[in-house]
Chain A
Amino acid sequence: DAGITQSPRHKVTETGTPVTLRCHQTENHRYMYWYRQDPGHGLRLIHYSYGVKDTDKGEVSDGYSVSRSKTEDFLLTLESATSSQTSVYFCAIRADRDGQPQHFGDGTRLSIL
């Protein structure tokens, strides 16, 4: 299994509070991704990183920010959580070689009340 750890695995919080999710990898891969999974939508990309301090937006980035200060850690922050951000969040990593797939963590289930 790819060395990816997401924390926390479950979180319940209230609307308007800040939330930070962490993705930690032990593979030293260059690429890291944050997706959200909602019924009927598959997985949609929020943000991704192609190196330390190098990040870019995905298709559903509004309301989210990310940071990557070390190769192994990629943080996703909801500055002021809203109920529409209730979802399951997945982190993925990818080696920088042609044809390499993304490997996924076990997810964080986030509920915003």
Chain B
Amino acid sequence: AQSVTQPDIHITVSEGASLELRCNYSYGATPYLFWYVQSPGQGLQLLLKYFSGDTLVQGIKGFEAEFKRSQSSFNLRKPSVHWSDAAEYFCAVVLMDSSYKLIFGSGTRLLVRP
């Protein structure tokens, strides 16, 4: 069955430090992958997506992610974290049937130390 695993429930980084959030997926074919961010009390905002082509994708707010088929991973990175990046981050894979529904990981909450 298709699934997405985000192994880190919480991550704390200092402002200005680099960030990597891990995402592993289980999917039988080439996946379409997304990262979303959720600020408290808000909906989910799309950060970036991958569905073909270059395995390093750029997103909004200075985020990037790298698709590694051999490791079944799609990790999110940012070179220098800002306090406003504190939020919850979700990785998701699209089920490529007639529904196009998303299978989400359980999320990683990012805390930023001043």
Contacts and interface: CB of A to CB of B under 8 A. Distances in A.
Tell me, yes or no, whether A binds B: yes
Interface of A: 4, 31, 33, 40-45, 48, 50, 56, 58, 90, 92, 94, 98-99, 101-107
Most buried by A among B90, B98, B102, B105: B102
Given A42-B105, A99-B32, A50 B43 contact: no
Given A42-B90, A42-B107, A107-B43, A102 B102 contact: yes
Interface of B: 32, 34, 36, 41-46, 49, 51-52, 90, 98-102, 104-107
A31 to B, nearest CB: 6
- Main SS of chain B's interface residues? loop
B106 A31 contact: no
Contacts, number: 49
B99 A101 contact: no
Nearest to A4: B43
A42 B43 contact: no
20 contacts: A31-B100, A33-B101, A42-B104, A42-B105, A42-B106, A42-B107, A43-B104, A44-B104, A45-B102, A48-B101, A50-B98, A90-B43, A92-B102, A99-B32, A103-B46, A104-B44, A106-B42, A107-B41, A107-B42, A107-B43
A31 B97 CA distance: 13
B51 A99 contact: yes
Top 7 nearest A-B pairs (CB, nearest first) are A42-B104, A104-B43, A104-B44, A106-B43, A42-B106, A99-B51, A43-B104
